[in-house]
Structures are given as C-alpha cells and as structure tokens.
Structure 1
Amino acid sequence: MKILLKGILFLLLSLPITSIAQSTVSGTVVDATGQMPIPGVNVLVEGTTNGTTTDFDGNYTLSGVNEGATISFSYLGFRTQTIPFTGQSNLDVTLTEDAAELDAVVVVGYGTTTKKDLTGSVSLVGEKDFNKGNNVTAENLLNGRVAGLTINTGGSPGASSEIRIRGGASLNASNSPLIVIDGLPINNVASGGRSVLSSINPADIESFSVLKDASAAAIYGNRGANGVIIITTKKGKQGLKVNFDSQASVARLTDKIDIFNANDYRSLINERFPDQTGFLGNANTDWQDAIYQDAFSSQHNLSVSGNIADILPTRLSVSRADQEGLRKTSSFERTTTSLSLNPRFFDGALKIDFNANLSWERNRFAPGVEGSAFQFNPTQPIYDPNSRYGGYYEYTNENGLALGNVPRNPVAQLMQTQDIASVRRYYGNFKVDYKLPFYEPLRAVVNLGIDNSESDRFFEIDRNSALGTNALEGEELGVRSDTDFKSSNRLLDAYLVHTKAFGDFNTEITAGYSYQIFENENFTTGNVRDPNAAPPELTLDPDVVLLAYFARGNFNYKQKYFLSASIRRDGTSRFGEDERFGYFPAISGAWQLSDEDFLKDSNTVSLLKLRAGYGITGQQDIGSAYDYLARYGLGNTISQYQFGDQFYTIGQPFYRNAGIKWEEITEYNLGLDYGFLNGKLSGSLDFFRKESDDLLSQAPVPDGVNFSNQGFQNIGKFTTQGIEFVVDYNLASNEDFNWNVNYNVTYIDREIDRLAFGQDILVQGIAGGTGNTIQVQRQGFAPNSFFVYRQLYDTAGQPIEGAYVDVNGDGILNDDDKYIAGNGRADVTMGFQSSMNYKNWDFSFNMRASFGNDIYNNVNSGNAQYGNVFRTVLNNVPTQVLESDFVNTPDVILSDYYLEDADFLRMDNITLGYTFDEDKIGKGSLRLWTGVQNVFVITDYSGLDPEITNNGVDNTIFPRGRTFLFGLNYGF
C-alpha cells in the first residue's frame, strides 16, 4: 500500500504546471440523450497540441487558449463538435451519438485506429452484427460475417472449431489464426479436450477485429502468418446498467446414415447369404436412433456495469451454460465470471485497464460409436437379461464371453464409459497507459497478461463392459485412468507511442518489446486396473519462449494520404541459435479518393479509398519444440539390450534437424473500399497473394541419414491467391421500417510450387484395409489433393468392380495410374445476412454457401461392400451397396467413385423478436425472441453433412442437430 501511495504521489508531483497568465476555459460535457456527464472526452485547440480530457464528472479545464481559436470536442461514438473561442470562461457542451463513428473504431496490434485510417485488410464485426442463436463458443458469433474467414464447428457440445483466414498458409504447421483477447495472445489449443475459446462467455464480447493480410498482421510477426483475430471485451461505462439474457433450446437429429432397417436386412440376408440366416435375431433395432437423443441446452448471462463511487468504471458479469449433445451421455457445462476495471487519473493522462476472467468447465465426452451403430446387426436387441456385460447384448462365444474383432453394442459403449474433464481457467491482463507529463505527445504502455488452465480428466470403462481389459479371457477389469494437465501462458509487452501533428501531417510511432512463455505439464496414471499397464508418468513439455522487438509508424496527410510501416524482430526457442531470429517487415498505404476535390462534393460517391499492402510474417508453430537439439530418451520393454540373461533399458536418439528455421509468408494485398448514396451502399474489394516459403512439414527422411524415417523439415513453397468482395446495403431506413442486407464472397486458389526433390508426400490415412492414404502433396496442385484411380463403368453406367483406367498405358495397374481428382478445400465461400426491424418487431437470418470442393465418403468406401456383411458375425452395411454392387475388392477404397461433390447452401439461423415499449413493462427494456438454428442444408452430398474438417475425408462425424430456441433480453 505504501508503494502504491508513493507512486501516486510521484505522478502527482510530475504533473505539468500550467501557466495562469493565459486564457482559461472550463465546462462540462454531457450526452444529448440522458444529459449524463461523459468522461474521457478529448478537448483540443485545433492546429495545436494543447488539449485535455474530461474527468469522470465530465468536467474539463483548458488553459493557454487564444481568442479566435477553435476548440474541438471528440469522443468515441459521438459526433465531434467544434466551437470558436471568444474569450468565454465557461463553455458547456452537449454531444450527440454517432453510431457510424462508433463502428469506425478498429482495434489493431498494440493500438487502435479508425476505418478511415486503415491501410491493411481488416474487418470489424461489432455486437450489433453478431450471429444470433445458440452460440456457446465465441467464434460462432462471426461465422459467415467476414470475407475470407471460414469457421467449421463440430457437432459435439462446446465443440472446438477449425478457423481459417484466407485458407491458411502452411502444410503441416499450424493454419489457425492468432487469437488476442484484450491484448493477450492466447494459445488456442485444446485444454481438457476443448479449444480455449470455449472458455469465453460470448456475451462478454464487444467486437472482433480480423486482421487478414500481412501488412496488418505483421506487427505480430512470429504468430501472424495465418491472420489475427482480436477480441475486445465489454468494459464499464458511465451510469448504472444491468442486463439479463436467458435462452433455452432443444436440438434434434436431422439425418442418419442410410443403412438397412431390420426387415430389409432380413431380406438381404435371405437373398444373398441364405446359409447365415441363423445369425438373424427377432428384434427390430434402429441403432442410430438408440445412440442419439433430443439435446436440451440453456444459457443465462447477468452483467452489471457502471461507476463505483463515480470514479471507477466497472463491469461484472456472471454466466452459466448447460449444453447436452445429440450423442447420448455427451454434455458441456460452463460457468464464467469476468471483471473489468477501467479507471482514469489525472484528467485521463493515466489509463489503467484490468480484465480478469475465471471459467470452470465440465465436459463429458461420449465415445464415437457411429461406426458400431451402423454396423451392428439391426435384428439384435439392445438389452439381454442373460448377458454378463451389464445386461447389454453383445456377441459372445459358447461360454458367454465376448468375441474379439466384432462390433460392440454402441449403447453399452456410451452407458458404460465415463470420460469427464473438468477445466479451471483464469486469464486476463493488467495494462497501464501513461501520457508522460514532461512531453505529452509520448505515452508509455505496459501490458501484463496471464492465461493459466488446469484440467483433470477422468476416464473409466465399467468392469462389466465387453471392452474391459482381458474381457476375452473372462476377466473383466475395465479401465480407469486419471490425467492432470496444466498449462501456463505469461506475457509482457512494453512499448512507447508517440503521437504528434505537424500542421496537416499526422504521425503515430510505436516501438516496444514483447516476451511470452508457454509451459505445459501432463501427468497420467495409466490404467490403474491393469497390473501389466505402464506406470504413472509425468511429462514436462519443453517451455516455448517467444520474444520480439517491434516498431510501427502510421502517417497521414490531410486525412487523405495514409502510410503505415512496421518491422518486427522475432525469436523462438523452437529453432537453433543460427536460425532463431527472423525479421518481418510490412508496409501499406491508402488514398482517400473521395476526399479529393473532384469527388468530395459528389452526391453519389460517399467513400472511395484505394489500399495497397505488402508484408512478411513468420510461422514457427509446430508440434516439435526442440528438433534442432541432439536428444535422447529411455527405451521401453521392447527396445532393451540383452547382456547374458540381463536386459537393459537403452537410450534412444530422437530425430534431429539442426537447420530447421522459420517458415516465411510473403503477402501482397490490393484493396478498394467504396460507399455510395451517402453510405447506403458500401463494401470492399480485395485482391491478395500469399507465398509460403521454407514450408515446415512432416516429410520422409532417407534411410540411414537420421534417427527417424520422418520429421519436420523446410521442404518447399506454395502459393495462395484470391479475391474478396463485400457489399452492405440499407434497403430501407425510416422511422418504422429498417432493412439491411450484407453479402460477402471469397475465391481462393492454392497451389504447391515446390517440394524438396520434387517428391510426392502421401497423406491422410483412411479406414478400410491397412496403411491406405487418399491424398497427396504434389507440385503444381492444391495441398491435400485427392489421389485416386479413375473408375471404369459399363455401358449401363454401372461401376465395374476393380476396373480402373490404365492412365499411362503400360498395361500394369499401380500407383502410377492414380490421378489428382480435386481437393477438400472450397474454391468459393459466401455469406449472406439480412436484418429487418418493423416498429417493435425484428427479424434476421444468416446463410452460408461453399463451392468447388469434394468429399471422400469413407463411410461408404470402407463399408458398402457385400463382403463386409458377414465377418465372424452379421454386420449391417450402407444401402449404397445396392447402387455399386461391389463385393470385396481391396483397392475399391482408392476409387474416385467415392469422391462426391461437397457444394452446399446452409441456412444457419432465423430469429424473430419483439421488444416491449417501456411504458408497458415499467423501467427498462424487454425483448422476447425465438429462432431456429441449422435450419436447412441444400447439397448433393449423400453423407450426413457436407461441412466437415479432416481435409474433406468423411469417416463419420458428430452430427449437427436442428435447434429450436427461445429467449429473452432484459435491461435497465
């Protein structure tokens, strides 16, 4: 406490002494709506650096003002006022809100700017533009809202998402963007089985800034290769405000894999396998229906914001989310608490921001039993009162013991398995921004951040389960293990910001230092019920340290000509001393054509800005932390050395690449922002090209030259280029009716330019057979291209089993006859949003579309053959076998017959709401709403869902349900 008081006293003594001999004006600034004082308003004598800010009561005092000068009053979200100074000693000002100006503020790396000042490709999505619906994880608030940004979220409760900006930039290193929350870069890896974004309460988020091109993201250097998403959370504001949001929903299954029902299955067996009819039962079981349920969910959010004792802007929020999954036993629970304190001292010269977030999650993961569900004999029952396996029917031998290598009862797997992870996570930052009293254009900023999580994962298979250890010998031990995982992310940013105007020339220069360290610790007991299991193990992952020195300059002349340049020197502990550091520069400029004399008076063109940018970003985010070092590890029981009758554990060398280095992504961007009819029609057009060089990829190693047959190497180069187009149109805007639509489309083309030695790299293993892959990395083609045989068909259009085109004509069918048949990434993605308000009613919907990619249907290729019907026991198969008539050819899974068009149009959300007039409910506002999520999907794909991850390979997924929602929003 004494140290704090001394620090405050020092700051007070450091304040500049103003001259009392000059003219002084003072007053109060209030808002026009509620006549409430506004703290932090910028009060400036135009053409000078003489200025101040209002205190928490909206009061200001400005000295050194000459008669005839003009004083401007500006504040985020309000229209700027300029008033001539005529010698008055008191000047009270009322500011009116300006929603357009509020939307114009964009958070970028280590600072903020406005849309008008932007030179890079940056998209802002504010709260009013967020997607409606059952958005449990934060990223789904902006799915489909930003051109070039794709978000693919799984169907499980609280599921993580595959997030890509402009298609990603790497082959095997991370393709996920950097996530920054209130200035804290987080490591968006799974913790307890979920992405860390699942820990954030979406109701606490105020806006997203999406930095798409390198000129915008290069300030984050070592982590900006795949773009940056900056999340800004809500802060305390003037005046007490209380909000309560509540919603409930139910999700239902929309589709199932097409397999034979019990009666059709009996007909199939009687017709094609008459000697196996004895394996048929008397039940009629739909195993897919048996593993799914209607899933109920609820979310409740309460927030309170205002000033404590009129000096401390504060916001406190508490939320609770409960989400069931469609797959039985799966669930997700989350409780979050967030606190934001944002005091301002010394007329705004000292700004302090404290953000603290605490979350607790409980995840129950349900095992993936879809494969068992569509294979299990539909004529057999779910339950068997004579079963030794918990009363569930299982395939057994004459002794009543479970058979091996057969499907297990999927309902029993769900009910007899507990996989529960509890995650405690706290994260936040403490930021001090101080305008130096001895030189006001200079600010010093220090930002300290922390992100810690602890997860306890409990896994148990019941002793009565047929999956239990040694169940085949009649000794059902089950499985039980515990895993504790701890992760820590600590950050220090320290930088100076110099802002100064020289007449019409405005400058802002930022320079600083950043240090971040990541630590992970993992402890697992192994299976404590198995006496032969491995002993408990504690794993300390190597610390990963990132440090950087950075500088950026933003310049503009007459608010028409803009230039931004930055450079960052980054270091990472993942590389050796010779390759540890890299330099990542960027430069971009913009020309506000609409402010030129030939356009500024136009009644048609309200905005026309040309942008161009160039930058280099780095990539070092790979799974291996110390491949550059010579490392050894202890072998296990199968890698011991024998001396006489004694066996000794040996030290085994690991893969080493002493020259591993940065992957570098060079990006060029050319953009045009436009607005017509006084902003009624607006949007942007961007052309971009990314060149990824020194690709970090898992690649084969020649025999005898290393201690592994593969490892991370810098192996080549590939190029991504594309076009983004956005249009926003206010179709109607009057007192009773408003209608806005927004459309965005992105075209992306990716091609591998070079691989080491021109070698093909086979990737993406598939189910069915052993060791098969379905994709390839090849020069001249898109990454993860499908690599298959070309199927031959008879005159009736039926596929001929095992018959493929001899592409090279050598009379031999082998890998040389495979060809590239598309890839799993879309060429074109689209988003469309519509929002209407009629008096007290509001209606909105969101749609997305994807074109140009393919899906390999591994569900059909690995199962839809008659040869799979009887293998020890009777198995069900997809009804697609009736179309192909395939029996049992091993290489049929490598046929392009199973490649399908993955184009789709999806209606994500429809929402209808009504807001009651204040005089009908008393104090405050109340909105009731209802909606549907995942309304429909139009596609030719025959599987469950065309929107999948896994590079376009479908081998069953956790399905997405159709969700019906009801909710209310109340505030005062």
Structure 2
Amino acid sequence: MKNVNFFLVALSLVVTSIVNAKNQKNRSNLAADSVFQNPDSLFASPGISVIIKESDFNKGFITSPFELIQGKVPGLNLSSSSGRPGTSFTCYYMGINSFMSNQPLVMIDQIPQYFSDFTLNPNDIESIGFLTDGFLTGAGSLKSANGVIAITTKKGSDNLKVDYSSNVAVSFLPKKADVLSASEFRNIINAHYQSQPGVLALMGDSETDWQEVIYQKAFAQEHQISLSGTVKMIALPFRFSVDDVRQEGILKTSNYRRSGARLSLHPSFFKNHLKISVNSQLNWFDNRIANESAIPNALRFDPTQPVYETNNFGNYFTYLFDADNPLWGTLENPLALLEQTQNTEKTNYWSEDIRVDYQFHFLPELRFVFLQNKQHYFIERIEKASSNSSWIYPLGEEQLNERQFLFEKSYYEAFLSFDKRFRAIQSNLEIQLGYNDYLVNNDNLYEKYFRSFYLNTSFNIRKTLNLNLNVVRQVNGLLSIDNRTAWFPGVDLAWKIKNSPFLKHVDVVSDLILFTGYSIVGTHTSFDENIGNLHSLDMNIHHEKLNVLHAGVKMGLLKNRVSGSLEFYNKAGKDLMALVYVPSGTNFNNYLLTNIGELTNQGFNLSLNALLIHNNEWRWIFNGNLNFNKSTLDKLYEMDSFQTGTIVGGVGNTIMIQSEGNPINQFYAYKQVYNSDGTPIENFYVDSNNDGSVNEHDRVIGKKATPDWIMGISSQLNYKNWELSFSGRFIAGHSIYNNLASVSYYHSFYNSQFYLLNCSDDVEKSKFENPQYLSDYYVRDASFFRMDYISLGYSFKRILFKKIDVNLAATLQNVFVLTHYNGQDPENFSGVEYAQYPRPRMASFKIQMAF
C-alpha cells in the first residue's frame, strides 16, 4: 500500500507541475489505437466477432465477467465449472483445440491476463469484445488460437458522477438428483434381501432426505459505489470504485466474499500528444470452501438412518464398531462432513498497470506506447477438521493443514506505431513493431518468462480494401533452448463492398464486407505458467501450433436495423500437448507433458441481430448466434489411441477414448442388447468383431462428449421506462455418461462392511443385479436448452431535484432447462456426471442510482 500511495502522490506532483489546465481537455478513453474504439473497427479488424456494451450484458447476480457474455458470442461455449459461489468458468472457442487448456486469452485494457479467475468486478466493465485473431496487438497473438476476450473498463467522465448499485439475491436447488426415497429404499431391501435377516436389521426407522439435509436456501448481496469525474485544476480524469460481495452457497457452509477497490487515472499532456493511463486494483477474498465429499455421500447414504444420534462424534449419526469406535470403511455422515470441516482460503491481490502513449511532435504519424502490469497474490489455505470427527478418530485432536503461496506476475510491452495517410491515393498505412515480456515468480523459488517480438502491418485502400499482415516471434522459457522459439505469421484480407461504386448508393444495404485470412497461432498451453510446476516436461517438446483458415461475410441492412455475419473456418492443430503416464522410476513424476498428435476443427459461425421495433415508445432487439463444429483427431505420434474419462466404479475404469481418424472425447463402451420391451439384458452385449465371444475387444467407439451445435438467443424489449430481457442457450450433439446410475445395481445396496447404500432410481429401470460399468446403456443424450435469465426492469429518470436516475430490476437466473437427459444437469462437457456441486436457481433484485 505504501508503494501505491507514493506512486499516486508522485504522479499528481508531476501532473501539477507540467500541465496547463486551460489547454487541457478531458480524454476519458485512452485506448485510441484499440479497434474497439475505432468506428470503422468492424472493417479494420475482420477478426472481431462481436462487441457487447454494458446495456447488452446479461442480467442478474453476476460475479464473473464471463457471465456477462454467456451465450452472446458465436462459437464461444462458456459454462460455469459448478454451482459453487465464485466458481471458475470453462470455455472453448470453435471446438476443442488442445487437450490441456482451451481458455481464451483475456485482455483488460489491452493488458493480457494469464489466468481465468481474474478479479475484475463486472460493474467496472464498459464493454467486452471478442476477437478470433491476434491483430489487436502483439500480445493478442500470444494465445489467440482460443480467441481473445478484450475487456474495456470504465474511465473518468467530464462532470462529477456518483454511481451506487445494490444487488440482493436468494438461490436454491432447482433439481435434486434422482435417488431412492426412504420408502422406495425399504421396498427394495425387503424384496432383495428377505432371506438375509442380518441385512434387513441394518435399516433404520428414519425417513431422511439427505439432499434436503445438506442443501439450503442461500442469500447473497453485492454493493458498489463509484466516483468519476475530472479534477479541473489539473485536467485529470479519474474513476474510483469500491465494492463488497457476499454470497452463500446452496451447499451448507460454503460461502464467498470479495471486497475490492479500483482507481483509474487518465491524464493527457501537450495537447494530447502524451496520454497516460494508470490503474490500480486491490482485492481481498475470504472464502469458506465446503467439503464437497458431502454431495456423493448424501446421494449414497442410507435414507433410513437419522441425521443425529447421541455419541462421541459430535452427535452426528455414525456407523459404530462399538460404543467408542467408528466402523472404518463406511460413508461419513454428509452433514458432519460439512459442519465438522472448516476449509478456508484467503487471498490478497494487488494489481497495478501503467500505459504511456506518446505521439511525436515532429512526426505526428509516429507513436510510442509502453505498457507495464504487475500482479501480486498472497494465498493462505487452511484445512481443519474437528477433533471429534469420526474420520480422523482415533487421532483425537484437531486436524490442521495450512499452506501459503506467493505469486508475482509482471508484463511489459512496448511498441512503435506508424500511421500514415496518403491522400493522393486515398489510402492508409499502419505499421506496428513491438516487444512484450511476461515473467512469473512463485514464492521466489523459480522464475519463468514468455517473450515475443512482433510486426503488424495494415494497409487500407479507399476505405474499400484492407490488408493485415502479422508475424510474431515467441520465446517460451519453459521449453528447452532448441525448441523455445517459434514463429507465428498471419494475413487477413477484407473487402468493404459497400464502399465500392456499384453499391455505395444502394440504401437498403448499410454495410457489406467479405473477409478471409490465414494465420498460425499459439495456444494457451504453450504459454501456461503452471506447466512444469506439477509435471515433468519432455525435453523435446515443441510449441502447440494452430493453422487457422477462415472466410466469411458481414452485412447490414436497412440502416443496420438488420445485421449479421457468416464465417467458415478450418483449424488444424499440430504438436498438441498432453500428459502421458510413465512408469514409476523412469521419471521424476508419473506424468510427462509431451506432444502427442494433430487435431482439426471445421465448422461455421452464424450471427443475426435485428431491431424489430423502434419508435417513440417501443424498442425491441433480438440477437441470435449459431455455431456448428466437427472435430477430428487426425494423428497420434506414438500410439493409435489412448483412453480417458475416469469413472467411479471398479478400479481404473475409463469410458472415453481418443483415437486416430475419429472425433475427440468419444465414448468407448460395450453395445448393450435389449429385450422386446426395451429393458437392457444384463451381461449381454453385441459381439462387435464377430469372433464368437464378448471381451474387451468388443468395446465400440460411439457417441461423444463435445457438442456439435451451440446456439445463443437473447432479446430486449423496451416500452417507455420498462425493460424486459432474456437470454438462453441451446446446445446439442453431445452425450453424458451417467455415473450415478452406473454405480446403482441391486447388489450395491449392501456393503460387506455391514452398512447399506442408497442408489439412483435408475436401478428400477435397468434391473441390473451386478455392475455393468462399461455398458453404453449409461451413455445418454444430453442436448438441452437453458434459459439463463429473465429480467424485468423499470427506470426513473431525473427524480429528486431532477438529478438522480434510478434503475430497478428483478431477475431470475437458471430459469429452466429443457432436456431428455435424466441426470441432474446436462451442462457437463467432461463427459462424466457423478456428484457435482449443482448450479443454483437464483432470484435477485438490483437497484442502481446515478447522481
């Protein structure tokens, strides 16, 4: 904090001493070179897929910037990892491009963020753009194989402005997992174990719904206040905000708290030849992480047993060996796991960045830009269990595990930009030559760097033809000296047909652009600072590379009341990285990170935006986007296939396979045979190779876990001061292995450790006596439509002395899901569903006031 205060004081003194306030004007937005601030940006960078402004963000109680654009970007699949408060998001763009990571590169005010769980408050965001290529800056080429999410934050304003927002919410479990009730459980035990009185005696007298026991209605609140304006004496635009978020999870004992402050300063000097942007952010996180082992235990725990009983283990029901000792090997009481465990994570985060943009006085076409960003993390994790917890008995003392981590990350970038207009030929040439460097320091134990040099060139002729050329030389300090350098070139060509003489005066066509491009880009994995921390690296490993060819059209009609785009693409990945198991004793770690193969994604993106109604009282906007993607694993270097998708049940069983010539993440199972009424026949599978016997060679490659189709729709209807909006997603062509159903069979109710287990109600459909873990009966179609939110709002304009605007909004999130999948949640792209933290349904009410 001392460093921050000193820096701000010093900056104020410098500004005061060199600025003539009378000759300065406010410049609230510094990113003038960004394509997102250029009115011709759609043409200047054909790789821009979409730009979403604050008024078009998703509504509701939102803690992650990813939620703001969920379902709004063609081809971008964004999905929360779980229902845990403050959870991360998994995302991939136009198919899975890597076996390691498919996260897009996130840039905040053109500063790359090399982690997915960045700390920016969504209320501080002005707009979010998504790019399909790396032509924004050299940094944009770094990991743009998965796209670039470019965030522009709010800046200072001409006049003093105070904004306050408050959001309160309640969330609850929308759907329970389909397990047996106590009465259904008793009926099955009595029917199948009637000849075993010892088993019947294990049942209790209670009627316990263990999901009701571990889940709760959860409350959340968020408050933010911001102050923006310009210090007139020194012409200093500024914005300062503070916020506090507190959110309970629907799983008891889980909660999330984030407090933060952000300061932005944007002065300009010498008649705007010199522009400076300074941002500083502080965050404090204080989270309690529930013991999520309670979830599978709640699904399997005997529903005839009580929650509590008098004993030495906190009076939670416990299976006992005798009066003083627990029965080892049994399930722990789900509520005890939650209430007798206290796992906490506290994080202190500090980030500061500065951007200096100087336009040379003697040559106005030439600019020099310097960016610097530093991030500091201190993380403390404590795992604690009560001394009377049955699972640590007979230790008899509080179990404590404490760990601390310190991370420091630094990013530097400098580039020269030459922008020359040739009026005689009505053309424009821009050349950008730059360098960036990224350093990681972990507990002062090691330092890693990623470095690149780049050259970007853009040539525009008569605002009709635009050619972009790009080449990047990247150095990855994680790799061996011989392999750490790679080159990534690219070219894009766009023809703005609307500006051609034959279409220029056709009023019905507002805009029409044809574009195409080819580039070789890097993926997230090649520059992931976590690689090498936990796994050994193959000394011969190379950069992952993606060859991207795309072409399409963008159009606008009727003064852009109707607009849209269609893009076709082919993405061929080479030297894909994956973790390969190696025998013990042959390496320092059981897993080796190495290049394993090549992968292709082919498909198209379609988007359509329409202003359906627009008059003095009504305004109705509809947006839709569609992506189709087909992936093929073209080649594996050292093998024909390898199995993935570990499941619960048996030892080391997997249910998916990656094999040459087939889509990725396909299920690999026995083909089940059914009787005439559609009931699966136990232990009866198709002899797929016709050799007269059924064995492991008869497993077949079938459905897949990755979707073919991703569609997003949204609508915003305004009538006078009212606003009704919604957003939803349709995802189709993928399947899920229902692992809860597969561990449910009649012989699984009784455990040899002398206790009973509950099961999925699917057991009454399959009628299996014994496990059939590898049957394709459990691979279920998981296509779904989810209504992400519906929101109704009302705005009061210029009330209380005509100085205050007030917006009110009531929102329901995760409104409903339409699907044929019979598990708990079809939004699971890992391919296996067992006992995840469920996504809640949330109702919220938000008030915003602007003074």
Q: Place the TM-score, normalised by the shorter chain, in its bin.
A: over 0.9
* Shift in alpha-carbon separation, 1:512–1:378, aligned structure 2, 3 A: same
Q: How does 1:452-463 map onto structure 2 within 5 Å?
A: 452-463=376-387
Per-residue CA deviation, residues 501-528 of structure 1 (Å, 9 max, x unaligned), is 011111111111111101223xxxxxxx
Letter matched to residue 607 of structure 1:
D
Alignment check: 8 A CA contact 2:162 2:226 kept: yes
1:55 to 21, 24, 30: 24
C-alpha displacement at 1:920, in angstroms? 6.4
Per-residue CA deviation, residues 83-116 of structure 1 (Å, 9 max, x unaligned), is xxxxxxxxxxxxxxxxxxx9997449xx997223
Matched, 1:336 2:274: no
Letter matched to residue 150 of structure 1:
N
* Shift in alpha-carbon separation, 1:849–1:343, aligned structure 2, 3 A: same
2:127 to 199, 207, 211: 207
Matched, 1:906 2:802: no
Question: Aligned-residue CA RMSD in angstroms?
Answer: 2.8
Alignment check: 8 A CA contact 2:178 2:824 kept: no
What secondary structure sits across from 1:381 in the alignment? coil
Q: How does 1:573-588 map onto structure 2 within 5 Å?
A: 573-588=477-492
Q: What is residue 596 of structure 1 aligned with on the other side?
A: 500
What secondary structure sits across from 1:855 in the alignment? strand
| Percent identity for Structure 1 against Structure 2 | 33
Q: What is residue 92 of structure 2 aligned with on the other side?
A: 164
Matched, 1:571 2:475: yes
What secondary structure sits across from 1:259 in the alignment? coil
Q: Which has the higher contact order (CA 8 A, sep 6+)?
A: 2
Matched, 1:303 2:226: yes
Alignment check: 8 A CA contact 1:215 1:613 kept: no
C-alpha displacement at 1:896, in angstroms? 0.3
Per-residue CA deviation, residues 162-213 of structure 1 (Å, 9 max, x unaligned), is 0212223112x3211111112221221xxxxxx533x221000111121224
Q: How does 1:777-856 map onto structure 2 within 5 Å?
A: 777-856=658-737
C-alpha displacement at 1:122, in angstroms? 3.2
Q: What is residue 117 of structure 2 aligned with on the other side?
A: 196
TM-score (ref. length: structure 2): 0.93
Matched, 1:963 2:842: yes
C-alpha displacement at 1:595, in angstroms? 1.3
Distance 1:622 1:382 in 2: 50
Alignment check: 8 A CA contact 1:119 1:562 kept: no
* Shift in alpha-carbon separation, 1:965–1:625, aligned structure 2, 3 A: closer
Q: How does 1:352-751 map onto structure 2 within 5 Å?
A: 352-368=276-292, 369-385=294-310, 387-468=311-392, 471=393, 474-503=394-423, 504-521=426-443, 542-619=446-523, 621=525, 657-700=538-581, 710-751=591-632
C-alpha displacement at 1:587, in angstroms? 0.7
Distance 2:838 2:12 in 1: 58
Distance 2:178 2:521 in 1: 46
Q: What is residue 946 of structure 1 aligned with on the other side?
A: 826
Distance 1:217 1:696 in 2: 26
Alignment check: 8 A CA contact 1:763 1:773 kept: yes
Does 215-224 or 816-825 show the bigger shift? 215-224
Q: What is residue 773 of structure 1 aligned with on the other side?
A: 654
* Shift in alpha-carbon separation, 1:217–1:261, aligned structure 2, 3 A: farther
Distance 2:537 2:246 in 1: 46
Structure 2: segments with no counterpart, 5+ residues? 1-6
Distance 1:447 1:794 in 2: 68
Letter matched to residue 686 of structure 2:
V
Q: What is residue 113 of structure 2 aligned with on the other side?
A: 186
Distance 1:822 1:460 in 2: 42
* Shift in alpha-carbon separation, 1:10–1:265, aligned structure 2, 3 A: closer
Letter matched to residue 500 of structure 1:
K
Per-residue CA deviation, residues 670-698 of structure 1 (Å, 9 max, x unaligned), is 12101111111001111111100111122
Alignment check: 8 A CA contact 1:402 1:466 kept: yes
Distance 1:655 1:242 in 2: 52
Alignment check: 8 A CA contact 2:597 2:637 kept: yes
C-alpha displacement at 1:813, in angstroms? 2.4
Alignment check: 8 A CA contact 1:864 1:879 kept: no
Distance 1:206 1:445 in 2: 22
Per-residue CA deviation, residues 199-247 of structure 1 (Å, 9 max, x unaligned), is 2210001111212246668753442232211111111021111111111
Per-residue CA deviation, residues 261-300 of structure 1 (Å, 9 max, x unaligned), is 1222222222211222211111111100000000111111
What secondary structure sits across from 2:457 in the alignment? strand
Letter matched to residue 279 of structure 2:
N
Q: What is residue 90 of structure 1 aligned with on the other side?
A: none
C-alpha displacement at 1:399, in angstroms? 3.5
Q: What is residue 526 of structure 1 aligned with on the other side?
A: none
C-alpha displacement at 1:728, in angstroms? 0.3
Q: How does 1:265-344 map onto structure 2 within 5 Å?
A: 265-274=185-194, 275=197, 276-310=199-233, 311-344=235-268
Per-residue CA deviation, residues 356-380 of structure 1 (Å, 9 max, x unaligned), is 1111111111111111101111111
Alignment check: 8 A CA contact 2:103 2:524 kept: no
Matched, 1:348 2:272: yes
* Shift in alpha-carbon separation, 1:5–1:299, aligned structure 2, 3 A: closer
* Shift in alpha-carbon separation, 1:545–1:408, aligned structure 2, 3 A: same
* Shift in alpha-carbon separation, 1:700–1:919, aligned structure 2, 3 A: closer
Letter matched to residue 321 of structure 1:
V
Q: How does 1:258-269 map onto structure 2 within 5 Å?
A: 258-269=178-189
Letter matched to residue 786 of structure 1:
F
1:115 to 13, 29, 42: 42
Distance 2:690 2:696 in 1: 13
Alignment check: 8 A CA contact 1:866 1:881 kept: no
Distance 1:5 1:798 in 2: 77
Matched, 1:879 2:737: no
Structure 1: segments with no counterpart, 5+ residues? 16-36, 40-53, 59-74, 78-101, 189-194, 522-539, 634-653
* Shift in alpha-carbon separation, 1:356–1:57, aligned structure 2, 3 A: closer
* Shift in alpha-carbon separation, 1:517–1:340, aligned structure 2, 3 A: same
Distance 2:114 2:585 in 1: 36
* Shift in alpha-carbon separation, 1:627–1:506, aligned structure 2, 3 A: closer
Matched, 1:135 2:62: yes
Distance 1:123 1:344 in 2: 30
Distance 2:682 2:737 in 1: 18
Alignment check: 8 A CA contact 1:107 1:113 kept: no
What secondary structure sits across from 2:563 in the alignment? strand
C-alpha displacement at 1:437, in angstroms? 1.7
C-alpha displacement at 1:869, in angstroms? 3.6
C-alpha displacement at 1:406, in angstroms? 1.2
Alignment check: 8 A CA contact 1:466 1:476 kept: no
Larger radius of gyration: 1
Distance 1:939 1:319 in 2: 38
Between Structure 1 and Structure 2, how many residues are aligned?
A: 835
Alignment check: 8 A CA contact 2:577 2:596 kept: yes
C-alpha displacement at 1:921, in angstroms? 6.7
Q: What is residue 3 of structure 2 aligned with on the other side?
A: none
Per-residue CA deviation, residues 803-830 of structure 1 (Å, 9 max, x unaligned), is 1111111123222211111211110011
Distance 1:441 1:217 in 2: 18
C-alpha displacement at 1:623, in angstroms? 9.9
Distance 1:925 1:955 in 2: 48
C-alpha displacement at 1:396, in angstroms? 0.6
What secondary structure sits across from 1:682 in the alignment? strand
Alignment check: 8 A CA contact 2:526 2:544 kept: no
Alignment check: 8 A CA contact 2:46 2:494 kept: yes
What secondary structure sits across from 2:212 in the alignment? helix
Distance 2:359 2:378 in 1: 38
C-alpha displacement at 1:730, in angstroms? 0.4
C-alpha displacement at 1:464, in angstroms? 0.7
2:808 to 919, 928, 931: 928
C-alpha displacement at 1:783, in angstroms? 1.6
